[in-house]
Structure 1
């Protein structure tokens, strides 16, 4: 298969490209002209600018699939009005431009995986949420809704469109877990807010395996929660990570302190509760290697 991939230098994108390349797939990354990151070693690449789209869209004609993972880091900065617009532009506007270019091709990719996030559900307390759960009116929820809707013209054209709604991707090599490790190793980690909020997580290995599964399984389409079957509360996460590291977590952080430091971002990413269900993904036939948090952390951190 010939597969174009945006976001190929990110945590998920780089791991996915390595996996697919090792299995003999032809991976062509979309590369920004001003990018300082090094894409995976490939024989070719496509120049792409989020505002202008592909420099040569005809080069993607006849590709089998397009995996769209690119988007500005949601936690890159405090959510000012300008930052929110940058987040929207990097997801919604950039996707809309790519969709226009794909639809203009004689033979567009027949399968499109365009990333989304479980943040689309907003704060749902301890309620289990499936893919049919309606979005709320929060910024992150509306951002994810509009990001997915940008692909509607592809669906209308009869192409297979899949939206993997990613949870918190955990890896000792990057992302949220890597950022937490120094804090906990220095014994200054602790429960955030009430600690009752659910975090829907997924191991990086399972995340990329699930993406490949959705790509390779012809009868999959629509939205899938890419989360482990057993989400945990922040208190459970803190306890598990502390135990694996052999460090006590003695410094709880009140929600008000997080809001003062991070603003709206604190509620959206740290204090919001999302107990997302993996039932639809499991029902498609996918099987997890890391279904429980504690054994995953034990393995990931002791093998690091």
Structure 2
């Protein structure tokens, strides 16, 4: 009972510390733009890892935040409905928004890549982004900015090469998908709307994404480097992901593609060693690349075995200051494992 009580007390203490840290950081981020009028914001893809946190953050800053959802809207809620796969979006619904943020699309790392799954990954992005872009371009009162999620898969597998927004694209399914994905916003861009493409790295959060999925085996002592661990991981904490989107939204000089990755990417073996240190678990159970290929096929090759060493040059040049620059501080904050 004493041990159990201590564990519960420790978890409650960590929970309150995490909330306090988050609130302090949120308020500090909002204070940077206290002289700029609040925005009316529409978010598509608001139920995912990034969207859920982004809605909460923008709400605390006093913005008027609405969700664009596929299901029937809840009475009295700030929700609008659309059906991108059927090309249905009422243009009058999105008239008057200052900002439109699109985070949607079928999950790239959620399921093995069959031909059907790859088609869904492509089609879900084409249909939704094109519909939003084309509809906004015809509005009388157009949004100031259209922020569209993208991915560092644009760069392909490049070994130790340092990659910035000026680097050329790579090759392969993900590269082709991202190139097309970013082009789907062209009609909004041509209509004079400021368009920002956020090339997201691996977003770290204990509640989902890559880190969330690997926690259970790691806590059971089954963690270790993947496929030799020499591939680069370009990561970003969830806090920095949210604050970077806010920064790009509020700065009217920010336009085009931005790498949303921390300034210090690390090799996968360094990530594994650091995660083991933070969790106080061994990192001695390596997983061979061949095993991952058998389990996940082409997905494993592109997302787990290959890597990119991506740097956020444009984001830092625009004045953004990272909360988490190194992998250990990011993991400790994400997991509530402070010293």
Smaller-chain TM-score range?
A: over 0.9
Aligned-pair distance for 1:54? 4.5
What is the CA RMSD across the aligned residues, in angstroms? 1.7
Residues 206-259 of structure 1 show CA distances to partners (whole Å, capped at 9, x for unaligned) of: 100000000001110001000001001100000000011111122211111111
CA distance, structure 1, for counterparts of residue 87 and residue 79 of structure 2: 14
Is 2:84 the counterpart of 1:8?
Answer: no
CA distance, structure 2, for counterparts of residue 299 and residue 105 of structure 1: 42
CA distance, structure 2, for counterparts of residue 209 and residue 145 of structure 1: 25
Is the 1:46–1:54 Cα contact (8 Å) retained in structure 2?
no
**1:120 paired residue number:** 154
Is 2:58 the counterpart of 1:24?
Answer: no
Aligned-pair distance for 1:157? 1.5
Moved more, 14-23 or 132-141: 132-141
Matches within 5 A, 1:1-304: 1-33=39-71, 43-302=77-336
Q: How many residues align?
A: 300
| Structure number with bigger Rg | 2
Residues 147-168 of structure 1 show CA distances to partners (whole Å, capped at 9, x for unaligned) of: 0000112111111000011000
CA distance, structure 2, for counterparts of residue 99 and residue 300 of structure 1: 34
Aligned-pair distance for 1:126? 0.8
Residues 52-102 of structure 1 show CA distances to partners (whole Å, capped at 9, x for unaligned) of: 344422111121010010111112221111110000111122211222222
CA distance, structure 1, for counterparts of residue 176 and residue 125 of structure 2: 12
CA distance, structure 2, for counterparts of residue 17 and residue 23 of structure 1: 10
CA distance, structure 1, for counterparts of residue 147 and residue 186 of structure 2: 13
Residues 154-203 of structure 1 show CA distances to partners (whole Å, capped at 9, x for unaligned) of: 11111100001100000112211111111111111111112110010000
CA distance, structure 2, for counterparts of residue 133 and residue 267 of structure 1: 22
Moved more, 219-228 or 272-281: 272-281
Aligned-pair distance for 1:302? 3.0
CA distance, structure 2, for counterparts of residue 88 and residue 29 of structure 1: 23
CA distance, structure 2, for counterparts of residue 168 and residue 194 of structure 1: 19
What runs of 5+ residues in structure 1 fail to find an aligned partner?
Answer: none
Aligned-pair distance for 1:34? 6.6
Q: Which has the higher helix share?
A: 2
What runs of 5+ residues in structure 2 fail to find an aligned partner?
Answer: 1-38
Task: Give the alignment's TM-score, normalised by structure 1.
Answer: 0.95
SS of the counterpart of 1:29?
strand
Is the 2:87–2:127 Cα contact (8 Å) retained in structure 1?
no
CA distance, structure 1, for counterparts of residue 79 and residue 263 of structure 2: 36
Residues 80-125 of structure 1 show CA distances to partners (whole Å, capped at 9, x for unaligned) of: 1111000011112221122222222211212000110111111010
Moved more, 153-162 or 54-63: 54-63
